[in-house]
Amino acid sequence: MFDGKEKVNREQPPMPTTDGVEYPRAASWAAGNCANVLNDDKGKQLFRVFLFQSLAEENLAFLEAMEKLKKMKISDEKVAYAKEILETYQGSINLSSSSMKSLRNAVASETLDMEEFAPAIKEVRRLLENDQFPRFRRSELYLEYLEELLPRSYAEKWAQSFEGLLGNHVGRHHFRIFLRSIHAEENLRFWEAVVEFRSSRHKANAMNNLGKVILSTYLAEGTTNEVFLPFGVRQVIERRIQDNQIDITLFDEAIKHVEQVLRNDPYVRFLQSSQYIDLLSKLK
């Protein structure tokens, strides 16, 4: 079991090998929600390594401990293990006071009501889903693992398909590095932010918050990451956010403009760059 007292002298969990893993399988870990990676043994192990490096491995370990607890049959053993869980994680996982109270009540109960554990489990899952999983998808660790699996034929197709380049995790990563070198990275960052915005279409509050963050981060005049749009496009976005008319179409015109900007010059230059040529030379 995870030991919060040993965080100083921790030993990194082993990296999963690429044996038996093809690129589409590993790429699917970043699609949808956190369950995609947790339901795959190799993906889960890679996520575990990421959490270890982020000093957050206790969250996954807690969920695994709870799964083990649910499967236990002998009452005395369950109670003893529940007490061990509380002792191990109460000082390391970040829970609200109400969830921590429910956790303690559950352990103190002779009947060990599993419903009392539910709030803590829900909060830890939400933390993984909303904070750590999005960072995992963008991490060097994950991208390097993907790159090791990427067939050369995939990368060669980017020369014929701008959409294929943007739709590939590894391709977009290398394109981002190139854009950074020509001081145009904010365009791709904006594009990625809008993709995330659209993926939150079933969560009104999240969509509203993301829309406002995108406006202040990329479209506000003078901001460090300002993306330059036709004035009328920017005005429409600002007005719709002010009027609380935020839906999946909010950034449609802006994205069309940014994609055209990226396609016209940076994409062509990327295909001729050492960034792309060196990647091709490494792939099988």
The structural domains of the chain, ordered by start, are 23-137 (1.10.167.10), 152-282 (1.10.167.10)
* Per-residue pLDDT, 153: 96
* Chain length of the chain: 284
**What mean pLDDT, rounded, does the chain reach?**
92
pLDDT per residue as tens digits for the range 28-64: 999 878 999 999 999 999 999 999 999 999 999 999 9
* Per-residue pLDDT, 109: 80
Residues of the chain with pLDDT under 70: 1-9
- Going from the C-alpha of 161 to that of each of 100, 157, 165, 267, the distances in angstroms are 51, 6, 6, 10
State the CB neighbour count (10 A cutoff) for residue 17. Answer: 10
Rounded to 10 degrees, the C-alpha dihedral 176/182/183/189 comes to -20
Rounded to 10 degrees, the C-alpha dihedral 227/229/233/234 comes to 50
* Per-residue pLDDT, 7: 53
Name the pTM for this structure.
0.86
Using CA atoms, how far apart are residues 208 and 202, in angstroms rounded to an integer?
11
* Per-residue pLDDT, 3: 58
Measuring CA to CA, which residue among 41, 212, 45, 7 is closest to residue 142?
Answer: 45
Measuring CA to CA, which residue among 263, 257, 255 is closest to residue 190?
Answer: 255
* Per-residue pLDDT, 74: 86
* Per-residue pLDDT, 269: 97
The amino acid present at 98, given as its one-letter code, is S
If you ran DSSP here, which 8-state letter would residue 40 be given? S
The label of the residue with tokens 């069309």 reads 256
Structure tokens at 197: 């915005």
* Per-residue pLDDT, 106: 87
